[in-house]
């Protein structure tokens, strides 16, 4: 029973990532690569389960997959939103427009 649940959760992860639409957003290489790796890894689980080559998963793996699925649904399939944001350093030109403070 746990194997079927794990396979269904992983299939949902792979489908959610495979059907993601950027809607004209910028292409970022690192999140795109990460999304591809997660899609392939999660998509292999249902295939291995159908072939009978998947060992029985432990409850922690099922819980972790459910958390990843929940995060992906919350971010509407965007891996970029799951990654921490880097703060951009202010450029000298934008600092010139600020007030002078001694």
| Max CA separation in the chain (angstroms) | 71
The SS3 call for residue 49 is helix
Predicted confidence (pLDDT) per residue in 2-45, tens digit: 889 999 999 999 999 888 887 877 777 887 888 899 899 999 99
Residues 6 or more apart whose Cβ sits within 8 Å of residue 38: 13, 17, 68, 79
The pTM score is 0.74
Contact 65, 30 (CB under 8 A): no
């Amino acid at each position: 029973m746990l194997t079927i649940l794990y396979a269904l959760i992983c299939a949902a992860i792979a489908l959610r990532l495979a059907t993601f639409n950027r809607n004209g957003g910028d292409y970022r290489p690192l999140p795109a690569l990460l999304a591809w790796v997660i899609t392939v890894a999660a998509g292999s689980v249902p295939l291995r389960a159908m072939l009978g080559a998947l060992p029985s998963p432990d409850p922690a793996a099922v819980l972790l997959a459910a958390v990843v699925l929940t995060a992906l649904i919350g971010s509407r399939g965007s891996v970029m939103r799951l990654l921490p944001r880097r703060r951009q350093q202010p450029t000298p030109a934008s600092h010139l427009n600020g007030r002078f403070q001694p």
